[in-house]
Amino acid sequence: MSAALIDTEEQHDLRAAVAALAARYGRAYFQRKARAGEPVRELWTEAAKAGYLGVNLPAEYGGGGAGIGELAIVLEELGAAGCPLLMLIVSPAICGTVIARYGTEAQRRRWLPGLADGTAVMAFGITEPDAGSNSHRITTTARRDGEDWLLTGRKVFVSGIDQADAVLFVARTEDARTGRLRPALFVVPRDTPGFEYRPIAMELTAPERQFQVFLDDARLPADALVGDPDDSGLAQLFAGLNPERIMTAAFTLGIARHALATAVSYARTRTVWDRPIGAHQGIAHPLAQCAVEVELARLMTRKAAHLYDTGRDAAAGEAANMAKYAAGEASCRAVDQAVQTLGGNGLTQEYGLAALITATRVGRVAPVSREMILNYVAQHTLGLPRSY
Ligand SMILES: Cc1cc2nc3c(=O)[nH]c(=O)nc-3n(C[C@H](O)[C@H](O)[C@H](O)COP(=O)(O)OP(=O)(O)OC[C@H]3O[C@@H](n4cnc5c(N)ncnc54)[C@H](O)[C@@H]3O)c2cc1C
C-alpha cells in the first residue's frame, strides 16, 4: 500500500506531460469555449491523440493499459490548468470501464478503440426525475419485441449527449422466470428513433451541457444490452460506480488546485496597505488550511484508485465514497476561499474563479450527493442503523 502514496516514475511523467499540454490551453481558452457553449474539441483531440484520455482502457483495444489512478491523474492535471473535463468521468471512466469489463467481444471492438483515441464519446444516464438519489426506483424499462428491445422512460441531468455518439442508459428488464425487474445497461446511439433529448438551463459555465431525455419505445437491436441477458446487470452497474466516484474526486481536486494557485499568486503581489495581502494571516491561514485539506483528499483519492486498480472492489467502494466526499468538501472550501482572496476580482471573468463556484458544487451533488455518502459511511463503515 505504501507505494500508492506517491507517484511512480511513470505517473510522475504522465502528470508532467498532461500538465504541460493543458498549460498550452489554460483557463482563458476553457472559459471562452464554455461561454460560447462549444466543446473543447482541440484539447480533447490532442489529449486523446497523446493517449491520455484512454490511458485506463485495455491495450488490446487501443488503450494505455493503465488504471483509473492514471486517468485520475490526467483529469486532475487538466483541472489544475483550469480545464476540468467532465466528460472524462463519463466516457472513458464509466462507459469505458463497463464495456471493457462486461461488454461482449463485439461491443469492445465497436466502442473501446474510439473511446480510447477520443474519436468516440459515450454519455451515461441513470438519474431519473422521480427517482433521484434512490436509483432503486428507476422505471426506465426495456421489453423484448422479437429479438429487439424497446426502451421507454425518462432521464434527467445526463451530461454531454450533444457531444456523444451514444448513451449508456441504466434501465430495467423483466426477469422471464420471476417477473421481477432487474437492472440492465443499454448502449443507445444518439440517432435512435424514439430517443429525444433537450438541454436543461443550468447555471454552469462549462463546455458540457445537461439534458433531459425522453425514451419512447426506442428500438434497439439485441446486442445493445451490455453483457449477458441472463445476468442481473448489477455487476455491470457497480463496475462503473467506483471509477465514477474516483474521477469526480479528481475533477474537483483539479479545480481546487487551480483556484488555490490563482489565489496564492494574487495574494503574493496584491498590496493595499504596505505589504502583500498574503502576509496577513487572515488571508494566509485559510489558504494554508485549504492546501492541507486538498492534499488529504488527494491522498484518499490515490488510496481509492490503488484499491480499485488492484482488484479490491469492496474496499475500493468505501474508499471511493470517502474520497469523493473529502474532495468535494475540500474543493468547495478552496474555491470559496480563493474567490474571497481576490476580493472583487474573485468575481470577474478575467480571473475565471467565480464560474468554479458552481463547477465545484457539482462534486457535492453528483454522481452521489454528500448526504448519501454520509448515509453510506454511517451504515457500512460505522454500522449504524439505516435511516431511510
Ligand atoms: C452538473 C451535473 C451533471 C450531472 N451529470 C449526470 C450524468 O451525466 N448522468 C446522470 O445519470 N446523472 C447526472 N447528474 C445527476 C446527479 O447524479 C444527481 O443530481 C444526483 O444523483 C442527485 O439526485 P437529485 O438531483 O435527483 O437529488 P435528490 O435525490 O432529489 O436529492 C435532493 C437532496 O436531498 C438529499 N437526500 C436525498 N435522499 C436523502 C437521504 N436518504 N438522506 C439524506 N439526504 C437525502 C440529497 O443529498 C440532496 O441534497 C448530474 C448532475 C449535475 C448537477
Distances from the Cα of 4 to the Cαs of 305, 318, 383, in angstroms? 9, 17, 28
Q: Report the mean per-residue pLDDT for the chain.
A: 95
Sign of CA dihedral 343, 347, 352, 353: positive
- Phi and psi of 187, rounded to 5°? -90, 120
CA pair distance 167, 179, nearest whole angstrom: 27
The DSSP call for residue 162 is G
Taking residues 320-335, report their average pLDDT. 98
CB 353 within 8 A of CB 260: no
127 Cβ closer than 6 Å to some ligand 1 atom: yes
Contacts for 13 with CB less than 8 Å, ≥ 6 apart: none
86 Cβ closer than 6 Å to some ligand 1 atom: no
Q: What number does the ligand 1 atom closest to the CA of 388 have?
A: 41
Instruction: For residue 359, give the C-alpha cell.
Output: 463547477
Ligand 1 centroid from CA 221, angstroms: 31
pTM: 0.97
Distances from the Cα of 271 to the Cαs of 218, 278, 280, 309, 348, in angstroms? 61, 9, 11, 47, 19
Ligand 1 centroid from CA 244, angstroms: 14
Contacts for 182 with CB less than 8 Å, ≥ 6 apart: 172, 173, 175, 232, 233, 234
Cis bond before residue 229 (omega within 30° of 0): no
Q: Which domains does the chain have, with CATH numbers?
A: 2-121 (1.10.540.10), 124-230 (2.40.110.10), 235-381 (1.20.140.10)
Question: What confidence tens digit (pLDDT) does each residue in 88-100 have?
Answer: 999 999 999 999 9
Ligand 1 centroid from CA 185, angstroms: 20
The closest of 72, 81, 100 to 40, measured between CA atoms, is 81
Ligand 1 centroid from CA 325, angstroms: 14
Q: What number does the ligand 1 atom closest to the CA of 372 have?
A: 47
Ligand 1 centroid from CA 204, angstroms: 16
Examine the pLDDT at 230 and tell me if it is beyond 90: no
R_g (Cα) of the chain, nearest Å: 21
- Mind giving me the DSSP string for 117-134? HTS--EEEE---TTTTT-
- Phi and psi of 151, rounded to 5°? -110, 130
To test the pocket of ligand 1, the residue of 157, 324, 358, 375 to mutate (highest count of ligand atoms within 8 Å of its CB) is: 157
Question: What confidence tens digit (pLDDT) does each residue in 164-217 have?
Answer: 999 999 999 977 667 677 889 999 999 999 999 999 999 999 999 999 999 999
132 Cβ closer than 6 Å to some ligand 1 atom: yes
CA pair distance 333, 338, nearest whole angstrom: 8
- Mind giving me the DSSP string for 329-350? HHHHHHHHHHHHHTGGGGGSTT
Share of the chain above pLDDT 70, in %: 98
135 Cβ closer than 6 Å to some ligand 1 atom: no
Question: Which residue's CA lies nearest to atom 35 of ligand 1?
Answer: 371
- pLDDT of 2 reads 55
- pLDDT of 181 reads 78
Question: What confidence tens digit (pLDDT) does each residue in 237-246 have?
Answer: 888 999 999 9
Report the run of H or E that residue 314 belongs to, with start and end.
Answer: helix 313-341
Q: Buried b vs exposed e over 224-257: b needs ≥16 C-beta within 10 Å?
A: bbbbeeeeebeebbebbbbbbbbbbbbbbbbbbb
